[in-house]
Amino acid sequence: EPLIDVQNLTKVYDLGRGRTVQALDGVDLHVPQGQVFGILGRSGAGKSTLLRCVNLLERPTSGSVRVDGQDMTALRGAALRRARRGIGMIHQHFALLSSRTVAGNVAFPLEVMGTPRAQRARRVAELLDVVGLGDRGGSYPAQLSGGQKQRVGIARALAAGPKVLLSDEATSALDPETTGSILDLLRRLNRELGLTVLLITHEMGVIKRVCDSAAVMHDGRFLESGPLPELLAAP
């Protein structure tokens, strides 16, 4: 079974007064363990909705979402929170806590999980080393460059030891050179930790640089999907 297995997913947003938007219209997505999978599409295509359905930040209207063998839609409350630890997420605008240090941001999910202090400190130091910020633990987000902020976001997303990383336009706010270095980091984490990455982007360059496979999304559907060389060769 693929690590991420989405079948016939639909999502209809209720806008009130009888108006609705169909953001997902029968999406099938199968991502094997160890892959970097990209979803390419314009604004409004449904990419973000799909990503948020994978970790159940958004509840699908119908269809199934299985991650690491677990039926995510069947989970609620504490069981859902536990399953989400297996799924890290990074964001376009980093979503860091500005009042906390870099180390404090990375420590946050471990605090929520109740990881003992000494173990937490070791893990935070290790994570900061992994993303190349070993000497910045005491800095505040405002003192960092965009690329450094995203490295903090990545370290925080990895804190609970997830098998899957969801990337929501993680490089869209960065210049091309910084984008390259963040994508290289994701690729390294994929190779070294076996991390499975599902990313969404509106940039073909991102797909070409890191993805093993990709899908092109439009109006809540996949127009085409497959391994990169074949996808790029398609007419």
Q: Which lies closer to ligand ADP via its Cβ, residue 130 or residue 163?
A: 130
Going by C-alpha positions, the residue among 147, 229, 157, 230 that lies closest to residue 196 is 157
Q: Is residue 103 part of the contact set for ligand ADP (CB under 6 A)? A: yes
Q: Is residue 204 part of the contact set for ligand ADP (CB under 6 A)? A: no
CB of 1 to ligand ADP, least distance (A): 26
Q: Is residue 84 part of the contact set for ligand ADP (CB under 6 A)? A: no
Find the binder of ligand ADP among 30, 91, 100, 209 (CB under 6 A). Answer: 100
Q: Is residue 156 part of the contact set for ligand ADP (CB under 6 A)? A: no
Q: Is residue 12 part of the contact set for ligand ADP (CB under 6 A)? A: no
Going by C-alpha positions, the residue among 60, 30, 68, 47 that lies closest to residue 162 is 68
Find the binder of ligand ADP among 2, 10, 13, 226 (CB under 6 A). Answer: 13
Q: Which lies closer to ligand ADP via its Cβ, residue 82 or residue 122?
A: 122
How many angstroms separate the CA atoms of 218 and 215, rounded? Answer: 10
Tell me the window of 13-21, 66-74, 80-88, 174-182 that interacts with ligand ADP (CB under 6 A). Answer: 13-21
CB of 18 to ligand ADP, least distance (A): 14
CB 90 within 8 A of CB 150: yes
Find the binder of ligand ADP among 27, 31, 65, 120 (CB under 6 A). Answer: 120
Find the binder of ligand ADP among 35, 49, 55, 92 (CB under 6 A). Answer: 49
CB 213 within 8 A of CB 228: yes
Residue with tokens 């108006």, as numbered in its chain? 19
CB 6 within 8 A of CB 73: no
Q: Is residue 46 part of the contact set for ligand ADP (CB under 6 A)? A: yes
Q: Which lies closer to ligand ADP via its Cβ, residue 35 or residue 49?
A: 49
User: Which letter, b or e, does each residue of 205-230 get, where b requires 16 or more Cβ atoms within 10 Å of its Cβ?
Assistant: ebbebbbbbbbbbeebbbeebeebee
User: Which letter, b or e, does each residue of 169-201 get, where b requires 16 or more Cβ atoms within 10 Å of its Cβ?
Assistant: bbbebbeeebbbebbebbbebbeeeebbbbbbb
Residue 21 neighbours by CB distance under 10 Å: 13
> CA dist 206 to 36, 47, 137, 172, Å?
11, 15, 29, 10
Find the binder of ligand ADP among 6, 9, 23, 90 (CB under 6 A). Answer: 23
Tell me the window of 26-34, 68-76, 117-125, 221-229 that interacts with ligand ADP (CB under 6 A). Answer: 117-125
| Binding stretches for ligand ADP (CB under 6 A) | 13, 15, 21, 23, 41, 43-49, 100-101, 103-104, 107, 117, 120-121, 124-125, 128, 137-138
